[in-house]
Structure 1
Amino acid sequence: MVRKYFDRRLGTKTNQYTQHTSDWQIQNIEPADLHKLKLPKLPISPPDATAPAAPAVGVGSTVESPPAEVSQPQEADAPQPAQAENAIQIAQPGARRLRRQQMRSPKSWNWSMLGLGAIILSVGMGAVALTWLTTLPPLPDCGKISPIAADSERLYCAQEAIRSGELPQLVAGLQLVGQWPDDHPLHGEAQKLMANWSKAILAIAKDKINHNDLPGAVEAAAHIPPNSPIYEEAQASIAHWKEQWQQGETLYKTAQEALQNQYWDKASEQVSALGQLENPYWRQRADQLTSQILAEKQARSQLVEARNLAKRQNPKALGEAIALAQQISPNSHAWAEAKTELTQWSQALLKTGMQQWQQGNLEAAIALVQQAPPDPTLSPDAAALVQYSHAQRLASWSEVQWEPSFKQIWGLMQALSTVNRIEPGSELYRQAQTERETWQAQLDDLVQLQFANLSASLGQRFSLETAIKQAELVGADRPRRVQAQTLVAHWRQEIERVEDRPYLRRARELAEPGTIPALKAAIAQASVIPLNRVLRGEAQGAIAAWNSQIETIEDQPFLDEARTLAEKGKRREAIAAAEKIRSGRALYDEAQTAIRNWRTEIEIAEDRPILNEAYELAEQGSLSGAIDVASQIGRGRALYSEARSAIAQWRIEREIIWDSWEAESAPESDDSYYEEDYEYDEGYEEDY
Structure 2
Amino acid sequence: MLMALPESTSCPRYFDAEHSDTLRVYCAQQLADEGTSDSLQRAIALVDRIPSDSPTRDQGDRLIQTWSAKLLELAEERFQAGHLDEAVALARKVPPRTDAYIQARDRMDAWQAVWQEAEAVYSRADDAIALGNWDVALSRGRALLTLENRYWAMERYPDLARRAQEGREQDQWLADAAKRRRANMAPSTEGRRTQWEQERDQRDLQVLQQAQALAQSSNVDDLREAIVNARRIIWGTPHYDQAQSLITTWQDQVQAIEDAPRLEQARQLASSGDVEDLESAIREARRIPSYRSLHPEAQSHIQVWQQQIREMAAESMTPVPVMDDRMAPWSPPEDPRSPLNPAWNPDQDERFPDAYGEQSGVSE
- Report the TM-score when normalising by structure 1: 0.24
Which protein is richer in helix relative to its size? 1
Larger Rg: 1
Structure possessing the higher relative contact order (Cα contacts under 8 Å, 6 or more residues apart) = 2
- Report the TM-score when normalising by structure 2: 0.43
